[in-house]
Structure 1
Amino acid sequence: MTTRRRVRRVVPALLAALALSLGVAQATGASAHPQAEGRPLPAPRTVHLSTPKLINPKGHAQPKVRKDQGPLPTVSRAKLDELKAAAAKHGPKRRPNMTGGNSARMLKQPSQGSFEGLSQPCCLRPPDTTGAVGKSQYVETVNGAGFGVYSKSDGSLLKNVSFASFFGYSAQTIFDPRVLYDKRWNRWVISAEAFQESSTVQKVFYAVSTGSDATGSFYIYTFDPPENPGDFYDFPQLGLDQDAVIVTANIFNSSDVYVRSRAFGMPKADLYNGVATNFSYFSLGTPGTVAPPVVEDNNASDFLVAAAPSDSKLSLFKATGLGRSSAAIVQLPDVPVAAYTVPPNGRQPGTASLLDSSDSRFAQNSTQIGNQLLNIHTIDNGGLPTPTWRQINTDVSSVTAGGVVVESGTSDDFNASVAGSPVGGTASNPIGRMFFTWTSTDVATGSAHQVRVKSGGRLATDPPNVIGGNTHSTASTFYDPTSDAVERWGDYSAVTINPSSTSTCAVGNRAYVVNERQISTTSWGSRIGKLGFCS
């Protein structure tokens, strides 16, 4: 999200603190047999995408600036404040004893290089930092600065275009950007949305490159969400399967009350060829923020997951035929998990000003390989914000593995993302590699430090918890750009698997990460790094 009148966020849960190691014990109550098909969900409307424009954008248009007022949650603001306050009082501020850590192979590769990403234009925060890696380029999207295209070989910036210029739109601020690289068809997919122009007009944008070169031409599509007058379309996420570009979003009414989540799939066959198209527009009820998958195999089904707002469970959905006339989504049995609640905000040395750790939502797309679904969210653990990864068996709606991703037993860790790779996977566990990025601070005597950009990884055979990790950037002072007690931070980050190989690193063994970094007390930047189980 950016600086805007409306704010967001989702999925706090009124639950107890999570035990450190999640493991497979959470799955013991699940049936060993495939589950029955769930309840079909409605697709009451069909959306028609505009006839696309073919463009090769250049330059920057000045964005409209809105002051951010914090996230819009799917519980009431009062309830979220209550949960945050309770998390802040939870003690002691130290996690229980932890086992595990980065694999020995990863520790031999503390960093495989990093380079500077896009930085803050005037007055826009937070960045909504995300990015994706392609064959020879890395594309980053952030609020305000738009999208940047970097050379993978030396990190040089090849092109930078504002969203106002890119989408040819300046009536309202454009925010919530996402980008993915479709390695099957060698296309870049970029999405964003704008604030409402009126009670019935809010623009949503999609851009698809005409090839693998992100400095070249794109097809630009747009539509107005078919919601009730005054409803606000927010926090869209982006996924991919073999046939469709998958999108999920939250909808709020004119009183900022969360009313539903949406999901749909746009056909690649039309998008990638510059053809006007339409798609079914599904209502998923009110499970909270729903994460779509990036499907890494030829599975005909897509699994979408949401962190439950007030229960010790996750909501799971199965979509089939997205991008086709036969599209359907059903809700599957809930996935039981250890009880959790929203994280406390991140602390910084030398100031009482906190960094917003958001709530317990899945903020980025999942990785889907076979019957396994992987994602990460930040929760309270020992009174500290703690990224917690979960691997779900979609056949039986159960968590089969999980752990935490932290720098140490005293660090505040949040704003995390994860991606999985099939390399090293097995028939029973097809996700053989995991790669993570997150933000870390620490106020403990002897280990105190300001904001860091972190990354780490694990093999499927490693202990579940990733502890320590690589450091790509450390701030020299605390971040305190406003008089607010809690400063907006990140909102999301990104990890993507390198689709090309080198002589020393096969495909699936290296990932690129991007996360917000701090340039000064009042301004943010970003850092793009790479890591891998290879040299």
Structure 2
Amino acid sequence: MAAAGCGILLASLLVSIDVAAASPTAGGSAEVTVAAAGRGYASPKFIDQRTNSPARQAATTADHPTRGVDGRPTGDTLPARVSTAAKPSTTSARVQDGPNTGGSRLPRAPSPRTINSNFAGINQAGGGGAQPSDVNASVGPTQILETVNRRVTVFDKTGVQQCTNTLAGWLGLGSTNVFDPRTLYDNLNDRFIVIATTNGTPGAAPRLFLAASTGGDACGGYFVYTLTFSGALFPSGMLLDYPYLGQDRVAILSSTNNFNPGYVNSTAWSVSKALVYAGAAVSFPAFAVDFSTAPVTVVGIPVAATANTYYVAGVPGTGYRLYRMSNSAGPGTTLVLQATVASAYASPSRRVNQCGTATTLDPLDGRIAWAPVQAANSPYIWFTHGIDIAGYPGVRYGAIGTSTNTATVANAFHSSTSDDFNPSLGASEVAPNAFNVWLNWAYTDTGATTCRNTSMTFNGVQPGAGVPALTNTDVTLIVGSNTVSNTRFGDYSSVQVDPVAASASCPVGRTALLAQQYFVGGTWATRLVRVSFGAGC
């Protein structure tokens, strides 16, 4: 094993492989209507980032732990050990009628790919504050908005900073302890959106913070809502933890895991974009869902209309819970549990090893940590999450068929000896059932000839390639160092499709922005990378 100075690697890659990793798995169950048992409501205040004074960074070095369904910090009881089993091969016969089988069959050679930009984002030492980073980023026509646990920064697409503030300062919340932010860009309405949460307060109603820009300038004005929740699902003092963020054409979508102080429930809700963008008061129902149920973001340039809105939860040992929402923007929003999709997997069975230290990292608990995606006319929902692969932390990705209640899945990892974790996924449909798919994750490789610490990597699939195993073919984007003090990692990463063409020869829908964490000198740093693939890019 190499010494402590070994670099950390974060990798992701785009390839074209024309074999599917698994046949669709049978599943499904009778639909169950989910009754609304709570409400959220708020009126906004207006914050103009052009005149909003930068706030002093709070001297916070640790955040509350990300908790599992048992209410305990994720990964705290997982052992740290060296796996000796070989990772299984995951290639098999091509699925003829599964997801991403439209379009022309592609050659086995890797597809052309271009790194348009690859630059450092916010870091812990330079104002990011608490660990882990909770890194994610949204991308508009000319700007990138990055959020981490204690800061918001806007860059141009080459990495030049345009504005920055603490997360609490950005939202106009003074000294409030604000954390777990996420962001997305609405390319139909030219708006940036941010969500974040805060600690529960004894005797007070649970709350979240939601902000939407008033125009296309990420450094401009925002309507900021303090969303307050009431009803049977929301006892006073509750922490609305790990807020997810997604969108369809007409609504902002979210869900949370709720603690008081132990795990109580998980809830999902949606709110009208028209009301939020107009700065109007909002009121909406909330529904009980499975632990870590993630909203499904509708993709398309512009965001397209869909008949239904979906939410998905990963359930280790079982597969997936698929929820279907109607009238997401209201009035009369409803939710049904459409199916339990059989596609069993195991959550990571041990922690992530590093080079040169016995300190290990948390790979989370197999939850879907980043919002899955669906295209307007496609029956497939694309997703990714962590799993156990022969005793190694690994990555699973694939697609759920909403018309068949089945899943087509494949594994992804950097090498036969790597620990792979913290994945996110983005996709764009360029023709019926023909997708570009970007998969972004982190890895360490203590079994490599040259030991590798946490590194950013990417891998991907082009239209017509099905759902291939993405193993030993990824592209490492940045290499960092190990850490002996930050035992949690990321909590999530992100992939979002760029709404404009990267160049005159690179059509729209072929470029995505990836955000991921790694370590530099023992503290966390983040990386923002724009990746295009296909001829002409």
Q: Classify the TM-score, shorter chain.
A: 0.7 to 0.9
Aligned equivalent of 2:113: 109
Indicate the RMSD between aligned Cα atoms, in angstroms: 2.4
CA shift for structure 1 position 295: 1.2
Q: Residue 74 of structure 1 corresponds to which residue in structure 2?
A: 69
Residue equivalent to 2:101? none
Q: Deviations over 1:336-391 (max 9, x none)?
A: 00332334221111111111111100001110122111110001001111110020
Residue 58 (structure 1) shift: 3.9
Query: CA shift at 1:217, angstroms?
Result: 1.1
Q: Is the 8 A contact 2:445 2:453 kept in 1?
A: yes
Cα contact 2:22–2:90 (8 A) shared by 1: no
Aligned partner of residue 25 in structure 2, secondary structure: helix
Report the secondary structure of 1:165's partner residue. Answer: helix
1:393 aligns with 2:401: yes
Q: Could you list the per-position Cα deviations for residues 299-349 of structure 1 after superposition, in whole angstroms to 9, with x for gaps in the alignment?
A: 12111110115x322111000101211100001120000332334221111
Conserved? CA contact 1:52–1:275, under 8 Å: no
Match of 1:8 in 2: none
> 1:403, CA displacement in angstroms?
1.2
Q: How does 1:114-153 map to 2 (within 5 A)?
A: 114-120=118-124, 121=127, 124-144=130-150, 146-152=151-157
CA separation of 1:211 and 1:431: change in aligned 2, threshold 3 A: farther
Write the letter of the residue equivalent to 2:513: Y
Q: How does 1:245-260 map to 2 (within 5 A)?
A: 245-254=252-261, 256=262, 258-260=263-265
Alpha carbons of structure 1 residues 97 and 331: separation in structure 2 relative to 1, 3 Å = closer
Q: Which residue of 2 aligns with 1:419?
A: 426
8 Å Cα contact 1:199-1:231 kept in structure 2: no
| Residues 181-220 of structure 1: pairs in structure 2 closer than 5 A | 181-220=185-224
Shift of 1:75: 2.3
Question: Partner letter of residue 418 of structure 1?
Answer: L
Distance in 1, matches of 2:359 and 2:74, equals: 21
Question: After the TM superposition, which of the residue ranges 67-76 and 506-515 deviates more from structure 2?
Answer: 67-76
CA distance in 1, matches of 2:427, 2:56: 37
Q: Which of 75, 80, 89 in structure 2 is aligned with 1:97?
A: 89
Mapped partners of 1:196, 1:79: distance in 2: 20
2:193 is paired with a residue of what secondary structure? strand
Cα distance, 1:112 vs. partner?
3.2
The one-letter amino acid paired with 1:524 is W
Q: Match of 1:229, SS?
A: coil
Are 2:336 and 1:330 equivalent residues in the alignment? yes
Tell me the residue number matched to 2:275: 270
Residue of structure 2 aligned with 1:442, choices 433, 445, 453: 445
Report the equivalent of 1:62: 57
Q: 1:314 aligns with which of 317, 320, 330?
A: 320
8 Å CA contact 1:266–1:279 kept in 2: the answer is yes
- Post-superposition CA distance 1:423-467 (Å, at most 9, x none): 1x43xxx25110011111100141421111111211243361123
Summarize the alignment of residues 332-351 of structure 1 with structure 2, pairs less than 5 Å apart. 332-351=338-357
> Are 2:460 and 1:457 aligned?
yes
| Pick aligned residue for 1:172 from 176, 179, 194 | 176
Distance 2:305 2:384 in 1: 23
Moved over 6 A (4+): none
Query: Following the alignment from structure 1 to structure 2, what is the Cα–Cα distance between the partners of residues 392 and 65?
Result: 40
Q: Does 1:354 align with 2:360?
A: yes
Distance in 2 of aligned mates of 1:184 and 1:93: 48
Kindly indicate whether the alpha-carbon contact (under 8 Å) linking 2:198 and 2:239 is maintained by their aligned counterparts in 1. no
Contact 2:206–2:238, Cα closer than 8 Å, also in 1: no
TM-superposed CA distance for 1:231, in Å, is 2.0
Q: Counting strand residues as a fraction of each chain, which structure ranks higher?
A: 2
- CA deviation after TM superposition for structure 1 residue 236, in Å: 0.7
The count of corresponding residues between Structure 1 and Structure 2 is 488
What is the one-letter code of the residue matched to 2:41? H
Letter in 2 for 1:354: T
Q: Which amino acid aligns with 2:368?
A: F
Q: Which residue of 1 is the match for residue 504 of structure 2?
A: 503
Are the structure 2 counterparts of residues 355 and 480 from structure 1 closer, same or farther at C-alpha, using a change threshold of 3 Å?
same
Matched, 1:372 2:368: no
Provide the rounded CA distance (Å) in 2 between the counterparts of 1:449 and 1:471.
Answer: 11
Does the 8 A contact of 1:356 with 1:488 survive in 2?
yes
39-48 or 359-368, which deviates more: 39-48
The letter of the residue matching 1:472 is L
Distance of aligned partners of 1:273 and 1:122 in 2 relative to their CA distance in 1, 3 Å threshold:
closer
SS of aligned partner of 2:170 = helix
Please list every run of 5 or more consecutive structure 2 residues that lacks an aligned counterpart in the other structure.
1-18, 93-105
1:474 is aligned with what amino acid? Answer: V
Q: Which has the higher contact order (CA 8 A, sep 6+)?
A: 2
> How far apart, CA to CA, are the structure 2 residues paired with 1:41 and 1:339?
26
State the AA in 1 paired with 2:143.
Answer: Q
Are 1:294 and 2:297 counterparts?
yes
In the aligned structure 1, how far is the partner of 2:402 from the partner of 2:311?
10
TM-aligned CA deviation for residue 417 of structure 1: 0.1
- Secondary structure of 1:325's match? coil
Q: Within 2, Cα distance between the matches of 1:216 and 1:343?
A: 45
TM-score under structure 2 normalisation? 0.85
Q: Is the 8 A contact 1:90 1:382 kept in 2?
A: no
- SS of residue matched to 2:168: helix
Paired AA for residue 357 in structure 1: P
Which position in structure 2 is the counterpart of 1:11? none
TM-score by length of 1: 0.86
| Whole-angstrom CA distance in 2 between matches of 1:513 and 1:78 | 27
Cα-to-partner distance string for 1:446-503 (whole Å, 9 max, x where unaligned)? 142111111121124336112332222101x311126xxxx01100000000110120
1:282 aligns with 2:282: no
What is aligned with 2:235?
Answer: 228
Distance 1:314 1:172 in 2: 36
| Range that drifts further, 51-60 or 245-254 | 51-60
* Cα distance change of structure 1 residues 458 and 197 upon mapping to structure 2, 3 Å threshold: same
- Partners of 2:86 and 2:63 lie apart in 1 by 31
